[in-house]
Structure 1
Amino acid sequence: MNPPRQIACLIFPQVVGLDVTGPLQVFASANEERRRHGLPPAYALSLLGADLQPVATSASLRLCVDRAWPEVDPGELDTLLVPGGMDIHTPCAEAALLAWLRLAESRVRRLGSVCSGALILAAAGVLDGHAATTHWDDLDALRQYPGVRVQGERLHTYDPRNRDGDGHIFTSAGITAGIDLALALVEADLGRPLALAVARRLVMFLRRPGDQAQFSPLLAEQNRTVPRLAALLEWIPAHLGEDLSLEALADRASMAPRTLSRVFVRELGMGPGRYVEKIRLEAARALLQDASCSIGSVARLTGFGHPENLRRTFQKHLSVSPQAYAERFA
């Protein structure tokens, strides 16, 4: 019988608690799912601090340290996770910690980060030459490291096949993306059925793939100040199967078509047609990932009409067919 994989998470003052507890709960839930089937635990979890004193999180909760990282041989670990924090600049400047992380990079099977923890890995130099992401608010800070290939539209960069990411050095976006990352690690270790069982156990709506954008177009546009378009932007997602031509949208907004086009470009950086296509594509992706509709139904419900129109749009924006997308992510 194989011993449990050692999963360790680094913690430091003002660490974001969910960056730590979210991913670790995924591994703990994987152990519970295995127990239900009479199998031994797959993971042993631990928290590593600078010393054995409790560490206060950004929410003022205190986490108990299991081991002091200066005394840990990274070769004992299978996976090391580095979370983000409110005072990320302090660990980024801690020479001893950065040296230990460089040692860990060469000795652990997997080294990853959650949220702004990517900045710590970048400061240690272990992200040089690698694709990386982080919380959307920290992307500019990550871009200050010229050796890092920043990919701000991803949830995480883990891929055990090393085709669409990296199976050794990887990063994840803001907070809850760390849960998606942990589920991907569990899937690679224990298989997709168990990872999906964990997602169900945690009452997650969807196990999101790593290359999914941090923001959907719906949420991204909600963050913009577009008073002249606010009502129209709220109306469009609920009427994707209807006529959303320029003329129909202009009539709905009580504007002339040319005026509406100018407002869209000025406020959203794109014309109405392109915006509608983005929203329809996002809706189609969600339906295909949920695996509740046929491709024909998805095309009809999202306003593409014929499956061929849906296929062309998927190829144009995602370089994959709807069928292949569904097979990969559903």
Structure 2
Amino acid sequence: MDALKTIACLIYPDVMSLDVTGPLQVFASANDECRRQGLPASYRLLLLGQHAGAIATSAGLQLMTDQTWGEADLTQIDTLLIPGGAGDQLQCQDPHLLAWLRAAEPQLRRLGSVCSGALILAAAGLLDGHRATTHWADVERLRRAHPQVEVLGDCLHTYAPKDPSGAAHIFTSAGVTAGIDLALALVEADLGRAMALAVARRLVMFLRRPGGQAQFSALLAPEPSRIPRLAALLEWIPVHLADDLSVEALAAQACMAPRTLSRLFVEELGMGPGRYVERIRLEAARHLLHDAKASIATVARLTGFGHPENLRRAFHKHLSVSPQAYAERFA
């Protein structure tokens, strides 16, 4: 393999365009930064498709295949990225593609996915025994379909160049723009922190974005019709967030023993009453901060956290940012 590292990206019908172009632009910008510093380019970019020619993305834009993946010389590819998109389910069912990925994996230095591309790697059996993430909307889909995968719901990517467990070889990234975070991490591993920081500045980005993807996901309550034994209580809780919502208070409202209530929460919601209440309070606080119509102290009081410090701790625990930073980002 020559000094240029070939970064190949799979493309297929209805692929998410940003899953492809976002990460590849990072590598292209690294080349620009290398040239600006009087250094040779570091990367060669390659698009691989099942067939030669143009492929329509889910946005309607067309990308041109450089080579078919069946003809690609894997010994000349350093890193292969598998993007996500509306067409990922068909790719998950393509036995030829899955067999090619299994054959390619041991020949590549790095194999990673962007967004729901993790489901394609998982369908090929390549994520079994590995930590993995994907777009927050697909986390449960990945978890249910592939129980052998350790699914992480709130991280931007799983690439860890110094991790001996294999996270430097096979890795995943979360939804859409997290592929850009992943690409910056790959550039940092290849060319050093100073070069990655220069690329991040060029792209007007964080080198390491604060927090995980839970900041962007929807922490929604389940439909009451799906949990009939708790339906009335779950409709009551959001209206009384500032009240005492201890297990004992909830049990009294539901006319149950506290132990029975706790057991039902775990059986039907997969979590205890305290954790559920915290999630609902957090979701309500997020909505209030989105609207930017109340101070953080008021938000803490209205949502039952009481003191702003309690709200801050909950935000750091679940979203890895402060309420103030969240409000500045999303309001």
**Is TM (by shorter chain) over 0.5?**
yes
Amino acid across the alignment from 2:19: D
Runs (5+) with no aligned partner, structure 2: 222-234, 242-283, 327-331
Distance in 1, matches of 2:190 and 2:182, equals 13
Residue in 1 aligned with 2:312? 276
Q: Aligned ranges for residues 1-330 of structure 1 at < 5 Å?
A: 3-143=3-143, 144-162=145-163, 166-204=167-205, 206-208=206-208, 212-216=211-215, 233=289, 244=297, 250=301, 253=302, 261=304, 274-279=310-315, 282-283=321-322
What secondary structure sits across from 1:44 in the alignment?
A: strand
Change over 3 Å in CA distance of 1:95–1:35 after alignment to 2 = same
How much identity, in percent, do the aligned residues show? Answer: 54
Structure 2 CA distance for partners of 1:37 and 1:60, relative to 1, 3 Å: same
Distance 2:53 2:290 in 1: 50
Instruction: Specify the SS of the correspondent of 1:120.
Output: helix
Q: Give the CA deviation at 1:85.
A: 1.4
Following superposition, the deviation at residue 87 of structure 1 comes to: 2.0
CA deviation map 1:305-330 (0-9, x unaligned): xxxxxxxxxxxxxxxxxxxxxxxxxx
Question: 8 Å contact 1:158–1:165 — kept in the other structure?
Answer: no
Q: Aligned residue for 1:257?
A: none
Check the 8 A contact 1:7/1:80 in 2, yes or no.
yes
Task: Give the deviation of 1:125 after TM superposition.
Answer: 0.5
Unpaired stretches in structure 1, ≥5 consecutive residues: 254-259, 265-269, 288-330
Letter matched to residue 314 of structure 2: K
User: Is this contact kept in 2: 1:131–1:165, CA < 8 A?
Assistant: no
Give 1:274 deviation, angstroms: 4.0
**Does the aligned pair in 1 maintain the 2:312–2:323 contact within 8 Å?**
no
* Residues 2/277 of structure 1: CA separation in 2 closer, same or farther (3 Å cut): same
Distance in 2, Cα, partners of 1:45 & 1:232? 44
Distance of 1:277 and 1:125 partners within structure 2: 38
Q: 1:75·1:104 contact (CA, 8 Å) conserved in 2?
A: no
Return the offset for 1:166. 0.6
TM, length-normalised to structure 2: 0.71
The 1-side partners of 2:34 and 2:134 are apart by 31
CA distance in structure 2 between the partners assigned to 1:199 and 1:286 by the alignment? 20
State the superposition RMSD in angstroms. Answer: 3.3
CA 234–4 in structure 1, closer or farther in 2 if over 3 Å, else same? closer
Are residues 105 and 238 of structure 1, via their aligned partners in 2, closer, same or farther at CA, if it must alter by over 3 Å? Answer: farther
Distance (whole Å) between structure 2 residues aligned to residue 174 and residue 164 of structure 1: 24
